[in-house]
Amino acid sequence: MNRFPLRLKITLWFSTVLIILVALTCGVILYINDFMIQKVIQDNLIEMVENDVDEIEYFPSIQDKENDYDLDVYLSFRNGYLEIDDDFLGKVNEISVAVYQENGSLLYGENPLSQELSDMKFSDLQIQTKNVNGVTWYIYDRKLVCNGLDGLWLRGVVSAQQGDTHFASIINFSLIFIPIFLILAILGGYFIARRSLAPIRKIATTASQIGQGRDLKKRIELGEGTDEIHQLADTFNAMFERLDSSFEAERQFTSDVSHELRTPMAVIMAQCEYLLEKQRSTEEYEDAIKLIQRQSKKMTNLITDMLAFARLEFQIDSFEMHKVNLTKLVSAVCEDMAQIQDKNITLTWKTDDDVFIAGNEHLLTRLLSNLIGNAYRYGKNNGYIFVELSESPEKVVLSVKDNGIGISSEDQKNIFQRFYRADKSRASKGTGIGLAMVNEIAELHKGTISVNSILGEGSTFSFIISKSPH
């Protein structure tokens, strides 16, 4: 079964359920129809017998008869006679009606079951049944009262098999119509299943082409629609978009890392070759070793930052969010980083009381540490760094302000990109990853990071979390 196409499975299930439903429906209909046919036969029997009741009269003497009708039947009965009108229906549509005396003797008419019914008692206004040679018969009796004369009965009989002809016609019609209906329904179900699953085949084909050709730019085109299949296609397209972005980011990351590591490695190799060319003075050896040390330290810092950034990107969905007291976090980070003795820069901070947000304490600590560290790195001698945490009904704002070298308006557009540094000479102490990591952490907390800077005067970085529902 698992080897069959999905459209064939759906068609088979649909066909099986349809056949079962049709079979049950036909069974119920046939049963009800047979019941109704038998009910009609019985009703016709009763109606015919009741109509014949009014066609029989009794007259004590012939002189009591005012009119003479040649077509009427006159039967001597006791001291008078019975007049059976010519409208008396003795046999119509296999229904036979006859007149009987109380003792069961036939007086007028015919009965196909006279012998078989000789021992059956009369029962006024009741339908009785009698099985004769495997055939069921319906019997209906009606007591006659003719001018006060008792002892006469009308008995009508009809075979239940009278309805077999109608029933057989229905069955024959069903045997022709139902198979045609089932075939058309199955073909229609297969066509509908095929049409319905066509988008899924398109999704599978597109996914296979992307997998084989590694063309992540390709997308599933299904046109307009809001059903589940279109939603599935949109989900796949979103997944392909993310994969494309991830692969592009990976390629860019690899390219940037290669470029960033190439320079210090080239410097180290050049210094090693310089030292190995010939005997150098002690001062030359010391200068070369110091240069190698600086470049090695630069590579170490770069690798550390790269690993931290990679862990952030790959584990971004695994970070747990809790209620964080941002006031205490800012104070703790600032107290630690105020111990840095660099360029005689003074670090101060101001916070509102008990500012809480939903976030990850470890990541928020890294965000603030990177911003303060960046301010130290590009600060001026005897400068300052001011950290402020404020809360309003609309938002929470964490800002880091310095009076350092500042950032040009052109560079401000790109500083949150990985490995981008405003220092074009790449001689700065930074790795170009810190601010990119800050941006990732801000987005993870559904916040934003922005910069306001004037070249030569300083910069202000602001981390903003809106309190309004997204």
Q: Are residues 322 and 461 in the same domain?
A: yes
Query: Which residue from 217, 207, 269, 289 is spatially nearest to 247, judged by alpha carbons?
Result: 217
Residues sharing a CB contact under 8 Å with residue 176, sequence separation 6 or more, in sequence order: none
Burial of 461 (0-12, 13-18, 19+ CB in 10 A): buried
Positive or negative, the CA dihedral 352, 357, 362, 365 is: negative
Burial of 398 (0-12, 13-18, 19+ CB in 10 A): buried
Q: Are residues 237 and 272 in the same domain?
A: no
Residue 441 above 70 pLDDT?
Answer: yes
Largest CA distance in the chain: 170
Greater pLDDT, 446 or 265: 446
Q: Are residues 108 and 147 in the same domain?
A: yes
Burial letters 420-440, b for 16+ CB under 10 A, else e: ebbeeeeeeebbbbbbbbbbb
From its phi and psi, is residue 440 left (phi > 0), alpha (psi between -120 and 50) or beta?
alpha
The Cα–Cα gap between 433 and 420 comes to: 8
Greater pLDDT, 204 or 428: 204
Average pLDDT of the residues of the chain: 77
Residue 315 above 70 pLDDT?
Answer: no
What is the rounded average pLDDT of the residues 317-334?
86
Contact at 8 Å (CB) between 61 and 73?
A: no
Determine which of 132-146, 255-269, 348-362 has the lowest per-residue pLDDT on average. Answer: 255-269
Q: Are residues 300 and 411 in the same domain?
A: no
Positive or negative, the CA dihedral 40, 42, 43, 44 is: positive
Q: Are residues 282 and 397 in the same domain?
A: no
Choose the final residue of a domain: 255, 278, 301.
Answer: 255
How many H helices and E strands in the chain?
Answer: 8, 16
Structural domain containing residue 279: 257-313
Residue 311 above 80 pLDDT?
Answer: no
Q: What is the pLDDT of residue 316?
A: 55
Q: What is the pLDDT of residue 28?
A: 63
Residues sharing a CB contact under 8 Å with residue 142, sequence separation 6 or more, in sequence order: 49, 50, 53, 124, 125, 153, 154, 155, 156
Q: Confirm whether 185 is domain-assigned.
A: no
Q: Confirm whether 45 is domain-assigned.
A: yes
**Residue 175 tokens, joined:** 């045997």
Which regions of 240-371 does DSSP assign to beta strands (E)? 322-325, 346-351, 356-359
What DSSP element (H or E) covers 204? helix 164-213
Q: Are residues 325 and 339 in the same domain?
A: yes
Q: Are residues 146 and 225 in the same domain?
A: no
Q: Confirm whether 356 is domain-assigned.
A: yes
Q: Confirm whether 31 is domain-assigned.
A: yes
Q: Confirm whether 186 is domain-assigned.
A: no
Tell me how long the chain is. Answer: 470
Q: Are residues 107 and 14 in the same domain?
A: yes
Choose the final residue of a domain: 295, 313, 331.
Answer: 313
pLDDT category of residue 327 using cuts at 50, 70 and 90? very high
Q: Confirm whether 13 is domain-assigned.
A: yes
Q: Are residues 324 and 354 in the same domain?
A: yes
Q: Are residues 352 and 447 in the same domain?
A: yes
| Paired sense of beta strands 149-159 and 95-101, if any | antiparallel
Residue carrying the six token digits 């290669």: 258
Q: What is the pLDDT of residue 70?
A: 56
Q: What is the CATH number of the domain that holds 384?
A: 3.30.565.10
pTM of the model: 0.45
Q: Are residues 289 and 307 in the same domain?
A: yes
Q: Are residues 248 and 267 in the same domain?
A: no
Contact at 8 Å (CB) between 200 and 6?
A: yes
* Helix 228-277 and helix 282-314, axial crossing angle in degrees, nearest 10: 170
Choose the final residue of a domain: 205, 228, 255.
Answer: 255
Q: What is the CATH number of the domain that holds 295?
A: 1.10.287
| Number of domains, the chain | 4
Q: Confirm whether 327 is domain-assigned.
A: yes
Q: Confirm whether 190 is domain-assigned.
A: no
Query: Which residue from 444, 408, 401, 434 is spatially nearest to 423, judged by alpha carbons?
Result: 408
Residue 360 above 60 pLDDT?
Answer: yes
